[in-house]
Amino acid sequence: MTYSIGDHELSAPVVLAPMAGVTNAAFRALCRRFAPGLVYVNEMVMATPVVQGNAKTHRMITFADDEHPRSQQLYGSDPQIMGDAVRQLCDDGRVDHVDINFGCPAAKVTRRGGGAAVPARPELLRAIVRSAVSAASPYDVPVTTKFRMGLFDDWLTFKRTGEVCAEEGVASIAMHARTVEQHYSGEARWDAIGELKEHMDSLGGSVPVLGNGDIWEASDAVAMIDQTACDGVVIGRGCLGRPWLFGDLVDALNGRPVPPSRQLGFVAEVMSDHARLLADLMGEDHAMRDFRKHTGWYMSGYPVGSEIRRRFSLTKTLAELDDILAHMLDKIGASATVVEGGERIKRGHTNGPIKVAIPEGWLDGQTRQGLNTDVTVPDDADVMALSGG
């Protein structure tokens, strides 16, 4: 299977979903070792602090010299600011691809009208996408969008969202097959991805549709594409503690055999490399605090016991990490493999359903089919906390 983003033809139709605090330059470098030639999207940042020159936000927009395409996700609720942010990043030559987030369900984002709240206001959605695409166009930088099915089961907006994005010139769309209310609970509803793909095809089919949700193994991606006819997949929680999943996906989607589950010795080597990449990026103290969450994901499904897991969760230095890894392999053996069903243990967020937080009056006068106009275009300055602004 082939898939292109701008001038970049990928080795498989696979995209790494941006995840806050995870998909930084260190993690993306690790993923590229296993599968070069895919799209690995940096963790999302807000448009406002990009424009304002916020130092922390700009440090987050970090790419390796050999990283192409350099993919950055932005979010915000002000069309002018979004366009200015895209234009600045493109003019500085910092990005090859921009993704716009319309799917973040975090209350601190949606209650201010950002993230997954935007598609409920179709003309606000249109204005943001139009501004971003217009700003990126002179630089030949493709813009893509990612969204959810809608706010609630009785307020589904994904077909209309796909239409608006296509009409405004995005290069592709991706959908996480859950509602905002569902959050990360239950099962992803792949049937909705199929509905979106069928709907977009009925409009001409020029915009690829990517599916996202509950791809834990390479075989899941094959099944999603077979079931929904989508054009590719977006990988989020499935790669937590499993960066080699991207290599498996390239094999599976190109009809090659997929390697068996990795042995514990292999996992230990990857953990050590990951921690060192993080230390190079952010310094050892910060890196080891950050890496603690990754240790639980790496160990998911492996019979290592609570004592070793506890030690991992408290590790403070690279030397201490090496000692724990050596002790683990000595005690359990480098050839240990995951328990039956261990690859499918959910990693990352599992909470939900949630109460959806949106601004007062956000849905007034609207229907699931949408309005032609919106009452207001909110300022996204109050949402800066997520990107540290």
Task: Enumerate the active-site residues.
Answer: 104
Angstrom CA distances, 82 to 90, 98, 325, 381, 388, stand at 12, 11, 45, 12, 17
Q: What are phi and psi of 374, to 5 degrees?
A: -110, 155
The span from the CA of 98 to the CA of 89, in Å, is: 9
Angstrom CA distances, 6 to 47, 89, 141, 229, 231, stand at 22, 16, 7, 22, 15
In this structure, are strands 150-152 and 155-156 parallel, antiparallel, or unpaired? antiparallel
3-state secondary structure of 50: helix
Read off the tokens for 176: 């996480």
3-state secondary structure of 212: strand
Task: Evaluate whether 300 touches 241 at the Cβ level (below 8 Å).
Answer: yes
Name beta bridge partners: 148.
176
In this structure, are strands 209-212 and 3-5 parallel, antiparallel, or unpaired? unpaired
Residue 120 has a CB neighbour count (10 Å cut-off) of 26
